[in-house]
Amino acid sequence: MVLTFLRRAIQQPQFRTPSRSCVIPATELNGNKQQHDALQQLALKEQCILVNERDEVTGFDSKENCHRVDLKTKEVKLHRAFSVFLFNSKGEMLIQKRSHHKITFPNTYTNACCSHPLHEIEVEREELNCFGVRKAAQRRLNYELGIPTNQIRPENFHYLTRIHYANTGDGIWGEHEIDYILFLQKDVDLNPNSNEVSEVRYLKRHNIDEAVSKFNAPLTPWFNLILKNHLKIWWDNLHQLKKFEDHENIHRY
């Protein structure tokens, strides 16, 4: 009965988890049985889109299998993802702190939303004009941050480029993604989902380095990479992002 309720609940965009989380056992790893939040464990069954290094679809697999580090090769399956950078009308950037419930990179600071288009949602497989990724971004911003979907329509997102990176995380869970970078400048209403997000705040461009240095937790590897290599120049040019579009190349790190 509990899992039936959770399966229904996680599909509802406006669902907010109870303050007391259910916990169910995960699979055994190296002889140690881990305990994971039930909603996060259920999300591991979602189907990510597998791609090759040219971002061509090669199949699909569960979120769990796409983030589990292979104990022999130390590699993670390459899959499609997106990262949303959200700015308000004053040019301040929204960041979130991932909740302690998260299985991958818990208690870390990151950009507004980072997730995956899902194979089982047909529209999120649509590649023309990056529409599937945009729809996935709309869905996840609503689920994680409670932003009403009518405030974040697919056409509102500015698709800049793609980044290919890998990080083996804690050696059990990691990332290997072709990450679509989406920018959005809009004033939105927030109602964070506590199962996903423990903190949100807006940062100003002029003191970004000082603000990050005072965080009480590390950055996610993808946010750290983008911050160091691209973010500042993009942020300085929110009014003319089109000149930074690169839909042909995939930047590799």
Strands, E assignment, 63-174: 79-87, 93-98, 109-111, 113-115, 158-167
Q: Does 114 qualify as catalytic in the annotation?
A: yes
Which tokens hold the place of 166? Answer: 């890998």
Q: What's the CATH fold of domain 43-252?
A: Nucleoside Triphosphate Pyrophosphohydrolase (3.90.79)
Average pLDDT of the segment spanning 95-120: 97
Contact (Cβ atoms closer than 8 angstroms) between residue 175 and residue 165: yes
pLDDT in tens, 195-226: 999 999 999 999 999 999 999 999 999 999 99
Query: Mean pLDDT, the chain, as a whole number?
Result: 89
Q: Which residues pair with 118 in a beta bridge?
A: 48
Give the pLDDT score at 35: 67
Phi, psi of 82 (to 5 degrees): -150, 155
Per cent of the chain over pLDDT 90 is: 85
Task: Please name the helix (run of DSSP H) or strand (run of DSSP E) that holds residue 252, with its range, or none.
Answer: strand 250-252
**How far is it, in rounded angstroms, from Cα 253 to Cα 251?**
7
Distances (CA, A) of 19 to 97, 141, 148, 240: 17, 20, 22, 42
Using DSSP bridges, classify how beta strands 113-115 and 79-87 pair: parallel, antiparallel or unpaired: antiparallel
Q: Does 144 qualify as catalytic in the annotation?
A: no
Contact (Cβ atoms closer than 8 angstroms) between residue 137 and residue 105: no
Map residue 38 onto helix, strand or coil.
helix
Average pLDDT of the segment spanning 157-186: 96
Distances (CA, A) of 50 to 20, 66, 228: 34, 8, 27
Contact (Cβ atoms closer than 8 angstroms) between residue 146 and residue 190: yes
Catalytic member of 46, 124, 144, 177:
177
pLDDT in tens, 15-70: 333 333 333 333 443 334 456 889 999 999 999 999 999 999 999 999 999 999 99
Query: Does the structure show a pLDDT above 80 at 1?
Result: no
pLDDT in tens, 119-166: 999 999 999 999 999 999 999 999 999 999 999 999 999 999 999 999
Give the pLDDT score at 21: 36
**116, exposed or middle or buried, with CB in 10 Å at 0-12, 13-18, 19+?**
buried
What's this model's pTM, rounded to 2 decimal places? 0.87
Give the pLDDT score at 169: 85
Phi, psi of 232 (to 5 degrees): -65, -40
Query: Does the structure show a pLDDT above 90 at 253?
Result: yes
Average pLDDT of the segment spanning 91-104: 97
Catalytic member of 48, 114, 130, 144:
114
Query: Does the structure show a pLDDT above 80 at 2?
Result: no
pLDDT in tens, 40-49: 999 999 999 9
